[in-house]
Chains A and B, each alone.
Chain A
Amino acid sequence: EDKVVQSPLSLVVHEGDTVTLNCSYEVTNFRSLLWYKQEKKAPTFLFMLTSSGIEKKSGRLSSILDKKELFSILNITATQTGDSAIYLCAVERTSGTYKYIFGTGTRLKVLA
């Protein structure tokens, strides 16, 4: 059965810390891996990764995919209280009953 597993489930850090969020997957017909940030409402898109070893970066956030070991990490440097959110990982499949499988999310809380 295809699955996406995120770790840790929750994390509390202080402002200025660096955090690494993990997403591992066992999915047939892999197309891409996506990261979303969910604050109080709608998940908002962060990154889409399709190739191994190529880092995607946006400000203090970066992410990389390892298709051999079947995982991705999301790094946040110099964390701020505004980074507090649930971070969702999803894997898109090329075929199958439905395209996206989501992990359970990592809840990050950044303390001032």
Chain B
Amino acid sequence: NAGVTQTPKFQVLKTGQSMTLQCAQDMNHNSMYWYRQDPGMGLRLIYYSASEGTTDKGEVPNGYNVSRLNKREFSLRLESAAPSQTSVYFCASMTGNQPQHFGDGTRLSIL
């Protein structure tokens, strides 16, 4: 009964490095989301995928790319990490009008 699984849980990068955050859900949900959470800012949407094969920008997409690999998996890529991207990243999934289910987050620090 995993729900939404994110990997890795923690990561430290140097400025300019690239990395991919992985997200997988086992609930057969159509929609998947990537958020970042910063102190005092709440959750802000980076990208979302309403269904397999589609992706759209959210509120703060600059510096990120996404791939909806299949119905289960939605990855977030930082091509050239910047200190401003230090944050906690959450993946979520949902279907229909049900509430979103969240993963446990990835804490990312960029030096």
Contact with B along A94-105 (1 / 0, CB 8 A): 000111101111
Q: Which residues of A contact B105 (CB under 8 A)?
A: 41-42
**How many residues does chain B have at the interface if contact means C-beta atoms less than 8 Å apart?**
23
Q: Is the interface of B mostly helix, strand, loop or mixed?
A: strand
Contact with B along A79-100 (1 / 0, CB 8 A): 0000000001010000001111
A42 adjacent to B42 (CB under 8 Å): no
B98 to A, closest residue via Cβ: A48
A98 adjacent to B103 (CB under 8 Å): no
Asked if B53 CB lies within 8 Å of chain A CBs, one says no
From residue 1 to 55 of chain B, which have CB atoms closer than 8 A to chain A? 4, 33, 35, 40-45, 48
B45 adjacent to A100 (CB under 8 Å): yes
Asked if B79 CB lies within 8 Å of chain A CBs, one says no
- The answer to whether residues A45 and B99 also contact, given A88-B43, A105-B42 and a CB cut-off of 8 A, is yes
Bound form: Cα–Cα A41–B107 in Å: 10
B104 adjacent to A97 (CB under 8 Å): no
B44 adjacent to A102 (CB under 8 Å): yes
How many whole Å from B84's CB to the nearest CB in chain A?
Answer: 18
- Total contacts A to B, CB within 8 angstroms? 47
A102 adjacent to B56 (CB under 8 Å): no
Asked if B74 CB lies within 8 Å of chain A CBs, one says no
Asked if A8 CB lies within 8 Å of chain B CBs, one says no
B contact set with A: CB distance below 8 Å: 4, 33, 35, 40-45, 48, 56-59, 90, 97, 99-105
A-B contact pairs, 27 of them (CB 8 A): A4-B42, A9-B40, A31-B97, A34-B99, A41-B105, A42-B90, A42-B103, A42-B104, A42-B105, A43-B43, A43-B90, A44-B102, A45-B101, A48-B99, A88-B43, A97-B57, A97-B58, A97-B59, A98-B48, A98-B58, A98-B59, A99-B48, A100-B33, A100-B100, A102-B43, A103-B42, A104-B40
A contact set with B: CB distance below 8 Å: 4, 9, 31-32, 34, 36, 41-45, 48, 88, 90, 97-100, 102-105
